[in-house]
Amino acid sequence: MVSDISNPSLYIVFAIFFIAIVFRYFLVAGIFYGYFFVLNSGKFSTRRLSRRKLRRGQLKKEILWSVKSSVIFALAGSLTYWLWENGYTAIYLDPSRYGLWYLPVSLLLALLLHETYYYWVHRWMHQPGIFRKVHKVHHDSLSPTPWTAFSFHPWESVIEALILPLILLILPMNIYVLGFYLLLMTFSSVINHLNVEIFPEALRNSWAGKQLINATHHHHHHEEFSTNYGLYFTFWDRWMNTESRNFRKRFEKIKVQQKESEAIKSIFHRNSEDPEAQVLGIVIPYHRLLQPRTCQDPVDDKKRNE
Ligand SMILES: [Zn+2]
Ligand SMILES: [Zn+2]
């Protein structure tokens, strides 16, 4: 029997989804922000991707937009629940129903469908006219932070939220895999907006690492606007020739900056133990040597205001 949408239990379902989504956002973004920007901000200074200062009130705006997005995502969750309750989705409860091998396969298929939808919709959102109305809020964060993860205009949130109920109408997915997928989405978005490259060099240079989007990849989207549209994987950007040419070079630069930083540290430690060097003023305060370099703004202002 089809349940009535005026059923009070649906409002409770919406409230549960909203609280869970907001909690998930604050927990994951808060952990990454606390670790990389509060507790260890100096330690990760050489891995910072954008050297721009945050805009006035940026974090507050990002959090407010993200809470608004959470309302839309909770509505999409409630819609999915309603579809499931009435037997319209392919969600299933018993993990062994299609075999255990199908669990990771269904996750991969969902990620690929989501990737394809997002890549093309994202390119569409960069069309002049659409950009200003739908996608500009997200790009107001020129230097992204973990709090940028859900910072979208409500129209963009609607567009982004629709894909999951659509996937679940056609793709059989176990309820636990779905829960993992929702968590993965949040972790992926927070890490891609972290503005700090956290993946080790060996992983980044491996075949698997090259297929995955990371903070450096998405940083170039926020910096260049017309490159790196992908969400989880790099293949659409490579196939459509929209991958940033500066992206791979930037990885090398991170490596060089790390080496420079280590060299500076060793000079400092040597000099700090040498009294003669100290008298001659050779010791350069370590914090001054590691001050961020100025970075030219590569973004075309016209493009930014489209
Ligand atoms: Zn964009
Ligand atoms: Zn972004």
Q: What ranges do the domains of the chain cover?
A: 8-248
Query: What is the whole-number distance in angstroms between the Cα of residue 21 and the centre of ligand 2?
Result: 19
Q: Is the separation of the CB atoms in 148 and 193 below 8 Å?
A: yes
Find the ligand nearest to 134 CA: 1
Alpha carbon of 244 to ligand 2 centroid (Å): 15
Rounded distance from Cα 166 to ligand 2 centre (Å): 23
CA distance 51 to 240: 29
CB 221 within 8 Å of CB 229: yes
Query: What is the 235 CA–ligand 2 centroid distance (Å)?
Result: 18
Burial class (CB in 10 A: 0-12, 13-18, 19+), 180: middle
- pLDDT in tens for each of the 306 residues of the chain? 555 666 668 899 999 999 999 999 999 999 999 999 999 877 887 778 888 888 889 999 999 999 999 999 999 999 999 999 999 999 999 999 999 999 999 999 999 999 999 999 999 999 999 999 999 999 999 999 999 999 999 999 999 999 999 999 999 999 999 999 999 999 999 999 999 999 888 888 899 999 999 999 999 999 999 999 999 999 999 999 999 988 767 666 665 455 545 544 454 444 444 443 333 333 333 333 333 333 333 344 444 444
Question: Do 65 and 146 touch, CB atoms closer than 8 A?
Answer: no
Q: Distance, CA 218 to ligand 2 centroid (Å)?
A: 6
Cβ neighbors of 89 (< 8 A, separation 6 or more) are 80, 83, 165, 168, 169
Question: What gap in Å lies between CA 209 and CA 10, rounded to an integer?
Answer: 42
Of the candidates 221, 265, 270, 263, which has an alpha carbon nearest to the alpha carbon of residue 246? 221
